[in-house]
Amino acid sequence: MDTISLGRAGVKVSRLCLGTMNFGPETDETTSFAIMDRALELGINFFDTANVYGWKRGEGITEQIVGRWLAQGGGRREKIVLATKVYGLMGDGPNDRRLSAYHVVRACDDSLRRLKTDRIDLYQMHHVDRETPWEEIWQAMEILVAQGKVTYIGTSNFAGWQIAQAQETAAARHFLGLVSEQSLYNLTERAIELEVIPACRSYGLGLIPWSPLAGGMLAGGLETAKGGRRISEMTRKRTEKHRARLDPYEALCREIGHDPADVALAWLLRNPDVTAPIIGPRTMEQLEGSLRALEIKLPDEIVKRLDEIWPGPGGEAPEAYAW
């Protein structure tokens, strides 16, 4: 497994990031432990979670599963770059969400307790908070870094201008600021090519795409739907919506002899701005299958055909819509 710098930071992460969102709701603890152990064996050292995963308010079920896995020892904690997130609703009170200094500091301590560790390697803001000034957010993050509880800071689901605002404020405080952005990015969702990706490139942020397979739609969505295999209602609806594009996409994948899921991941990995797509396996088979994408080199003519099937926004702003 190759590694790459996380943006301009010195830390190295694997080219695939293990997403843990399914641990708990979809995948039992025993299987989750086995998947994490196998990920390490395969060279995946970048693990991503969030305090809201598990979807039972305030419980942090997925973080607890990851914490119990880490507590087994065997060098597990020292072998991974551990990322989690803050922002989501974690209680019934008015200060149990968002990015106020009050909530960020408490949420960090709660995540550390659930994860059974003394530090979070990458602490990510799960969403922009339009109600809290950047001076307050950065003051809280600086304290956590100074205390050794957090090493690096990242964002998720931010717009390009919000990344710029965050970084300029951090620079004025002589603080490193952000090292990564985690965005929705796949063949079907390419809006971040307009401004988010250029902002990441300009400020030296690593790009961590989430939902690289569009919720499974790009993993052979048509065949999955036809075969009656387990598929979420949301994915089923999206599959029907995009059927006219999925038909030629899956036909192209058959033509070049690769599974649709592998082609979708390989397309992301081909982009020099992408650090590590997040894979969210429910099973061991899905985990190991993801590694096939690392061996695929898509030629320019195939990428052009993919662009014809799944057109992006036309490039980067403003040239995408202006002279």
pTM greater than 0.85: yes
Backbone angles phi, psi at 189, to 5 degrees: -125, 95
User: Domain for residue 107, yes or no?
Assistant: yes
283 CB-side CA count, 13 A: 4
| pLDDT at res. 231 | 62
User: Domain for residue 86, yes or no?
Assistant: yes
User: Domain for residue 79, yes or no?
Assistant: yes
**What range defines the domain where residue 129 resides?**
3-216+267-298
| pLDDT at res. 282 | 95
pLDDT digits (tens, 9 = 90+) for 244-288: 999 999 999 999 999 999 999 999 999 999 999 999 999 999 999
User: Domain for residue 9, yes or no?
Assistant: yes
User: Domain for residue 248, yes or no?
Assistant: no
Q: Are 250 and 224 in contact (CB under 8 A)?
A: no
User: Domain for residue 323, yes or no?
Assistant: no
pLDDT band at 229 (very low <50, low <70, confident <90, very high): very low
Q: Which residues are catalytic?
A: 53
Other CB atoms closer than 10 Å to residue 170's CB: what's the count?
20
User: Domain for residue 186, yes or no?
Assistant: yes
Instruction: Work out how many domains the chain is built from and give that number.
Output: 1
What's 40's domain CATH number? 3.20.20.100
pLDDT digits (tens, 9 = 90+) for 154-204: 999 999 999 999 999 999 999 999 999 999 999 999 999 999 999 999 999
Is the pLDDT at 222 greater than 70? The verdict is: no
What is the residue-wise DSSP string for 6-28? STTSS-EEESSEEE-TTBTTTB-
User: Domain for residue 97, yes or no?
Assistant: yes
| pLDDT at res. 280 | 96
pLDDT band at 223 (very low <50, low <70, confident <90, very high): low
| pLDDT at res. 227 | 40
